[in-house]
Amino acid sequence: MNRPPFVPAVALAARQSLGMSPQQVAEQMNACGASIDISHVHAWEFGDYHPTEQELFALADVLWCRTTDLMGIDEPRTLMEHRLERQFTTARLAHSIGMDAVQYEQAEERSLWTGDAQQTAALLRLLNVSPLQLAQMIDQPGRSWSDASAPPEPTSGRLA
């Protein structure tokens, strides 16, 4: 299973700034539905182990920070980073936009967008990005559409 990027020092600093113990973090994460124990928190903070996406979402909630903070990202630049910032798993986002999860995962991995107009409009709305930002995420600097509010036309590869 791929795990998102993670910066242990950020998690440690966030926990300490809240005055929480690793045990309290584990307890709060369990209350959020993430089944972990104190050893997970220690492993994350020492950099021995990275949280899964679901664990990252719960940890960000417990530590009152953004997932991108824990990932060491100032501003999301890729589809994956935007998705994680909004706390979507690939399966949940794919389902929400009406796309097969494998097709969406390939879009992230390859920086290719093959969604149709409806899927693209839903993606833009759920990730809170503009068509221009989507074009930049899939390596198309300088791409612009005459109507910035309209989704791009469906493509079979990179946006042209």
Structure-model confidence comparison of residues 22 and 146, the more confident one: 22
- Least confident residue range of 32-36, 78-82, 91-95, 150-154: 150-154
Q: Which residue has the tokens 């182990």?
A: 49
Q: pLDDT, tens digit, for every residue of 122-132?
A: 999 999 999 99
Confidence of residue 26 (pLDDT cuts 50, 70, 90): very high
CA distances from 15 to 12, 37, 70, 90, 160 (A): 5, 15, 11, 27, 45
> How far is residue 72's CA from residue 69's CA, in Å, rounded to a whole number?
5
> Residue 146: pLDDT above 50?
no
Structure-model confidence comparison of residues 47 and 142, the more confident one: 47
> How far is residue 113's CA from residue 155's CA, in Å, rounded to a whole number?
7
Average pLDDT value over all residues in the chain: 87
